[in-house]
Structure 1
Amino acid sequence: MVNLYQQEGLDYFELISLALRNEYNLSTIKAGKFEIPAKAFNPLRNQYDASRIIESLIPKFDNKSDLNLLITDVDLYVPRFNFIFGLAEIQERAAIVSRYRLNGSNMKERLVKEVIHEVGHLLGLPHCPVPACVMYFSNTIDDTDKKSSHLCQECRRRFEEL
């Protein structure tokens, strides 16, 4: 089960629900809206710390055995990177994906790929060396565009063994 939290003003429930059902056979429920906490903003970078956003929302998570997915439209980062498209905090069973850098005519396709990628991490899948696999690490938007929205054969095998 995936609890989907979306930033106020966003509604990608149908798109994400279908993608997660098709790729991982997971059910998704609307868990509600959320606001980005002010403490997550870093004025020196003009970006939001993805880990702090997840951390601030942990008290909202009802069932600790469910997966929690946050969708936002702010520019995210973690300390080692200039920016990130998304982040999975495996121990917290929570992931965040931002559409901020996914803009363009294929934004929804990009969003689906990043959601499937981050939920894959929550399910125990590592990054994959195959550029066409959805679990391939996207360093740029071109990497996201080049990969598919599906697991490669090896990642599919790993997933089925989990």
Structure 2
Amino acid sequence: MKGRYSWLLLCILLTACEHVARQSETATRHVLILPLGRVKDVQIRQAYEGIRKIYPKTTVLPAQDMPAFTYYEPRNRNRADSLIAWMNRMAKPNEIYVGITMQDISTSKGMFSDYGVMGLGYCPGKACIISSYRLKNKQHFFKLVIHELGHNMGLSHCPVATCYMRDAKGGDPTAEETGFCTRCSAFLRKKGWDL
């Protein structure tokens, strides 16, 4: 009987330690917004204010030019995959870099070696890049930001048409998006987001 109680106590302690470690991980994570190339102040403000509402440890870094090595001359745009790899190398273990720009970005996708995108992020990971270049209504810029940051937290695309995590499938569905669905919200709350 005594052995059973010891085992139960050990399980409770391990569960509590795991919960504290998970809370500690999300509490120490720092979101760094990095304006790259051409970016309007309104987009920087949208990204900062939106992220800060759900994740208070957010900072805007000084704006930088687009790194020259990410430029793809044949299409006059920058490679999103190279940008997130670059930011990922800069990010410390407790940081997530959110690059924002107005310039055209692209990545390799399926049979396309240079496919234009609105955003790209590691899933999960420490870096994402968002561009307003293809966005029809610039007021929806924050929806792109929160989508890629959701990928960084580990969320994949969602089948719910109104969810911020839906797959754009080459279009701009942001006008139809109203928030995170129940499943995505629950996932992000576990990651420390205040939704």
> Taking structure 1 as the reference length, what is the TM-score of the superposition?
0.84
1:44 corresponds to which of 65, 68, 74: 74
CA RMSD of aligned residues (A): 2.1
Q: Which amino acid aligns with 2:144?
A: E
Q: Structure 1 residue 9: deviation in Å?
A: 4.8
Q: Structure 1 residue 158: deviation in Å?
A: 2.0
Is 1:79 aligned to 2:108, yes or no? Answer: yes
Q: Structure 1 residue 126: deviation in Å?
A: 1.2
CA distance in 2, matches of 1:59, 1:79: 20
Q: Which amino acid aligns with 1:95?
A: C
Q: Structure 1 residue 20: deviation in Å?
A: 1.6
CA distance in 2, matches of 1:155, 1:90: 14
Q: Which runs of 5+ in 1 are unaligned?
A: none
Q: Return the structure number with greater helix share.
A: 2
CA distance in 2, matches of 1:33, 1:91: 25
Deviation per residue, 1:68-113 (Å, 9 max, x gap): 10001211111115211001124650110011111x4x3032x111
Larger Rg: 2
CA distance in 1, matches of 2:151, 2:89: 21
Q: Structure 1 residue 25: deviation in Å?
A: 3.1
Q: Is the 8 A contact 1:17 1:27 kept in 2?
A: no
State how many pairs are aligned: 156
CA distance in 2, matches of 1:18, 1:55: 25
Q: Which amino acid aligns with 1:159?
A: L
2:126 corresponds to which of 93, 97, 101: 93
CA distance in 2, matches of 1:125, 1:44: 33
1:27 corresponds to which of 57, 61, 77: 57
CA distance in 1, matches of 2:183, 2:125: 26
Q: Which runs of 5+ in 2 are unaligned?
A: 1-29
Q: What secondary structure does 1:139 align onto?
A: coil
Q: Structure 1 residue 32: deviation in Å?
A: 1.6
Question: Are residues 49 and 142 of structure 1, via their aligned partners in 2, closer, same or farther at CA, if it must alter by over 3 Å?
Answer: closer
> Identity percentage over the alignment?
27
